[in-house]
Structure 1
Amino acid sequence: MALPVSHEQPEQQEQPVAEEGPQPAAAAPAPGRRRAWWARTGLAALSGLALALAFPPFDAWPLSILAVAALALLTRGRTARHGAWLGFAFGVPFFVLLLSWLRPVGWDATVGLSLIEALFLALMGAGLALTSKLRGWPLWGAVLWVTQEWMRDRLPFGGFPWGRLAFANTASPLTPLAALGGAPLVTFAVAGSGTLLAWAALAAARARRTDTELPWRTAVGAVGALALVLVGYAVPVPTSADDTVKVALVQGNVDRPGMDFLGRPMEVLDNHATATEKLAADVAAGKVAKPDVVIWPENASDLDPFTDPAAYARIDEAVKAVGVPTLVGALVDGPDEQHVQNEGIVWDPATGPGASYTKQHPVPFGEYVPFRDELSKVISRLQRVARDFYPGDHNGVMQLGPARIGDVICFEVAYDEIVRDAVNQGGRVIVVQTNNATYNNTGQTEQQLAMSRLRAVEHGRAVLIAATSGVSAVINPDGSVQQRTGEMEQAVLNAVVPLRDGRTLADRVGAGPEWVLAVGGVLACAFAATGAVRRRRAERRGADGEREPQRTA
């Protein structure tokens, strides 16, 4: 990757401050500087709110491009410190609105997580300010959005990928790009469109101030931004089936959403067993075709069937009634008394439980408590997480009847490598077992559904979402939703879905493009920061030379 060229190079004629219009802040009186500072802060916050509206349940995806453009304009020509503040002011309202589905846990949890996530946008804001002084800054701005997501997807405690630009564009013209480079490429295209739009707007503003014709930069920027949005239409999304399978997704429902959704022991399990037995009765009556497989959601059994005879018997009774292999989500005792495992278990009507998948990426503070001994003394609410979830050590590829599935559990659908590994290791259809009962009617389920739609396109696979209380869905390999349930209802979805063996380009290249872009963003920031230090040193030397008294003969 070639290093960016500084604005100090002779061939670069325009200076960032000249493009912005207002005079440098240092030339304005102190009250004027304060007003400008607060105005920029307010605009950054409004832009963050606009970005949140691009995501479900609002789904105004064009706002993702406009929000990126706004932050690029606000940080253009600023100092790194000011850029960091603007990024933080952008990030806090963005995440508070996006993650408002956490409110059943508590608004303090929503705000606390939002502040942590906004720190990454603060770092990006500083980077945007630094690289805005480089030639080709729209490119480096787009790269930095990927860098920020790359960091946030991994840190801290394994990261939290919610709020990636790609997840706001799971039903937009940009979506097919996921088949080429996954979510990082979609993010890069969204951000690139936004920064090019900012570049065009700056050129147009300069032309208006100087009463000249619109420069070529305006046309190139606008056309480039539009081209990035539309280029996805040229990307073929593989959908042809090598085989098919008849599936039934059982949504048994819970009696009370919120933190105490499990209710009484056996309650949730009995809901799913009863719904499965109703499916069996409908099959016997000829109302629906007999499925090849049945899929239950995460936590469908609230008791460990291997240690609780009643739970084992109830599951076995329901599976025998429907007469086909069933994927059962269950909480299973871990290797010691302090741990529990979140599993998907293949349950055969003749031989009982067989292969299983254990969730690899438990959610910190939700499914396990880091620094439990220390934090539980300060935050009493953490004591409600009585036992930590023990992570699995292998992917979710399992044989379920005639289908070789790639199982992921709940929030794992947000992590690129977990889903990609399941596909690359042989999963012909992606199954997402999930339990969102804590967050029903908050928008969280819609956001997770959007992620699953992107995964379908990225991997060219049908995606089957089985949820305890909604939203369960059947998603085609092109990302379209074939069927879905509502929330807080008992329902069964019956569908014929394709099984595919081919891999997309995104499957083959893996995380390589993301790492290249992310490291490119870090190098661009380092180059820009080094150039800024050199300029300041040169300015100080020049000032010292001017102050040196002249010698007389």
Structure 2
Amino acid sequence: MATPTLHDGSDPAGGSTHDVPADALARARRDRRRLRRQGRLRRLLGAGGLRILVAVLGGLALYASYAPSTLWWLAPVGLGLLGLAVHGRRIRPALGLGLLFGLSFYVPLLIWTSVYIGPVAVSLAVLEAMLTAPVAAALAFSSRRAAHWRPGTATVLWPLWAAALWVAGEALRARFPFGGFPWGGIAFSQPDGPLLPAASLIGATGLAFLTALAGFALTGLARAGWAARGRWRPARPLLLLAVVALIAPFVVGVAGRATVQTGEDAPRSVIAVIQGNVPEPGLEFNATRRAVTQLHADRTRALAAAVRAGTAPAPRLVVWPENSSDIDPYRDPVAAEMISDAARDIGVPILVGAVVDASDDPDDRGSYNMGIVWDPQTGPGQTYTKRHPVPFAEYMPWRSFFRLFTSWVDRAGFFLPGDAPGNLDVAGVPVGDVICFEVVYENLVRDVVAGGAQVLVVQTNNATFGWTDETYQQQAMSRVRAVENGREVLIAATSGVSAVIAPTGAVESSIPLFTPGYLTPSVPLISTTTPGTVLGAPVEWGLTGAAMLALVWQAIVSMRRGRPDRRTPDGAGTVGAR
């Protein structure tokens, strides 16, 4: 049987022919499509596409370093990959790479925000990622300027500059917008790593700088290694300098051990932490608000019974979590009596977390998130009002504007901020109280330590976030704060995880999620101030200022010199390639 042929006068290879078999023509067309696909794949996996992949992997690696993970080393790896992705890029593509890095980091890190309030909460992760993009652009700009330094100078100084730029970016996210949200601070990836002691020496900001320095030193090491291929001897000094830049942060971490507080010589007192649990997780945890208060009162009475039986030590004071009285105990006699009964039974003051109405006017929806010292004899006394209510949760900025887009804004609270640090005298113990997310703000914790607090208390309600990683991420922050300030940290959570954290950052004891219980640790009452408490703010401002001044200076130099040469001095390739 004859093979069908075509007589269109065309040759699939580009020439002209007659009587081409149909199957040959089909194969040629398939080959042509395959070559086009391969060309697109090569372009995708070229400089731009490969950088996109590296940026996304960097964000995921950084996320994987945060609690409940203990893989602290993935944080430097993640930043090292970001450095590789943006190194030598122009500002516009670097912005895109930074956005992709930020999304791949913040979306999984903050996924707990969407568990009960839906995809609207993902906007927070998007906003944080958008604030990461300018940092990536600054890193790219700095790498292009560094390309005109001597190779050895660039190998050492660019990681320092890049790490300072990262700190500047975190300083921005800690303050903007609406008072900032520094939840993804890189220092909080390190509670299980060898760099942690540095927080006692140079503060959490210094810890963040060292972590970023290790990451961008990895970038320098990778680039020096690539440049050394086939010419080891002349590239050997660059590799050695890159290794020195990588090791330096860990040397500082070792040096920081000398300043870490242990509390061995400090006086001690037993402080009880109560976790009463809630009827159910989620936004409706307090639908039966009296039940939450009752559960905490019951657990306190169980502790009192154990003390009388001699199976538990007698506490000097008791700590209840945030929202343990979600009814205003100043106005509701039943809630007040529940707390008073529990305080009389245990015989010592209770630090109660309560929601308190801000006005006698029933139409005024304003309220305070408050810690109240409740004496067994005299009732409520000293108070602390949360200074930094959480935007889009405890209060809604621009409520009328955002209501145009979603009715979810009306689920946000109407909490008002306090104006004084949480320094309380509870049974003669100087307590520093911070409420829930406030532990992430360095200045709020530093204020109570500067005010004389000998122990830190974090009253928190994590029931809203169910079984997610939120509570473990918050615990990691408390561990860093313990080392930074040289204080024992007691976490009292409605539904867990409540914990006792030593000044060394070690978790000494805890109560699992959604499990009622109590802790009775013997707590060191430490008065000594760490260098980290004193230097935390100056280190942040110093690094941020130095990074910004360096950017401005290099921009001025660039404008004076005109367009920079597109080749790097060390022959590493075209730094301006798109």
For residue 475 of structure 2, the aligned residue among 426, 449, 453 is: 449
Letter in 2 for 1:82: P
How much has 1:533 moved relative to structure 2?
3.6
Q: What amino acid is the match of 2:348?
A: V
**Which residue of structure 1 aligns with residue 132 of structure 2?**
121
Whether the aligned pair in 2 keeps the contact of 1:199 and 1:221 (CA below 8 Å) is yes
For structure 1, the 5+ residue unaligned runs are: 1-28, 541-553
Matches within 5 A, 1:338-349: 338-349=365-376
Equivalent residue in structure 2 for 1:508, among 524, 531, 534 = 534
Secondary structure in 2 matching 1:364: coil
**2:383 matched to which residue of 1?**
356
- Note the alpha carbon deviations across 1:225-266, whole angstroms, 9 max, x for none: 123124312222122343111011000001111111112130
Task: Quote the residue 1:4 is aligned against.
Answer: none
Tell which deviates more after alignment, 102-111 or 319-328: 102-111
**How far does residue 528 in structure 1 lie from its aligned partner after superposition?**
3.0
* Other-structure match for 2:200: 179
Opposite residue 308 of structure 1, the aligned amino acid is: D
What's the counterpart of residue 398 of structure 1?
424
Write out aligned runs for 1:540-551 (5 A): none
Question: What SS does the aligned partner of 1:482 have?
Answer: strand
User: What TM-score, normalized by structure 2, do the two folds share?
Assistant: 0.85
Letter of the 1:381 partner, please give it: W
| Aligned twin of 1:156 | 177
Which digits, 9 at most, give the CA deviation of each residue in 1:485-544, with x for residues without a partner?
A: 10001010111010011111122234111001011111222233334444445889xxxx
Q: Does 1:384 align with 2:407?
A: no
Offset from partner CA, 1:11-37 (integer Å, 9 cap, x none): xxxxxxxxxxxxxxxxxx998655432
Letter aligned with residue 278 of structure 1: A
For the pair 1:279 / 2:300, whether they are aligned, the reply is no
Give distance in 2, aligned partners of 1:58 and 1:461: 24
- Residue in structure 2 matched with residue 492 of structure 1 by the alignment: 518
1:32-431 matches, cutoff 5 A: 34-36=44-46, 37-132=48-143, 133-134=145-146, 135=154, 136-210=157-231, 214-235=235-256, 236=258, 237-240=260-263, 241-335=265-359, 337-385=364-412, 387-431=413-457
Preserved contact between residue 251 and residue 489 of structure 1 (Cα < 8 Å): yes
**Aligned equivalents of 1:538 and 1:190: distance in 2?**
31
Structure 1 residues 539 and 506: CA distance shift in structure 2, 3 A: closer
Measure the CA separation in 2 of the matches of 1:409 and 1:535. 53
Q: CA RMSD in A?
A: 1.8
**Structure 2 segments unaligned to the other structure (5+ residues):** 1-38, 147-153, 567-578
Structure 1: distance between partners of 2:319 and 2:133: 42
Q: Give, in angstroms, the shift of residue 75 of structure 1.
A: 1.2
Contact 1:130–1:528 (CA under 8 A) maintained in structure 2: no
> Are 1:246 and 1:494, in contact at CA under 8 Å, matched by a contact in 2?
yes
Distance (whole Å) between structure 1 residues aligned to residue 114 and residue 553 of structure 2? 42
C-alpha distance in 1 between matches for 2:270 and 2:358: 33
Question: What is the number of equivalent residue pairs in this alignment?
Answer: 511
Q: CA deviation at 1:424?
A: 0.4
Query: Is the contact between residue 436 and residue 467 of structure 1 (CA under 8 Å) also seen in structure 2?
Result: yes
1:438 to 464, 488, 501: 464
Aligned-residue identity in percent = 43
* DSSP-derived class of the 1:503 partner: coil
Q: Is the 8 A contact 1:190 1:229 kept in 2?
A: no
Secondary structure of the 1:266 match is helix
Deviations 1:353-407 (A, max 9, x none): 000000000000100001112222431011122x410100101101111311000
Corresponding position of 1:458: 484
Report if the CA contact (8 A) 1:204-1:215 is conserved. no
Asked if the contact 2:198–2:255 (Cα under 8 Å) also holds between the matched residues in 1, the reply is no
Residues 202 and 211 of structure 1: CA distance in aligned 2, closer, same or farther (over 3 Å): same
How far 1:214 sits from its partner (Å)? Answer: 4.6
How far 1:290 moved relative to its partner? 1.0
- AA of the residue aligned to 2:316: D
Q: 1: CA distance between counterparts of 2:41 and 2:293?
A: 64
Question: Could you tell me how far apart the structure 1 residues matched to 2:170 and 2:319 are?
Answer: 32
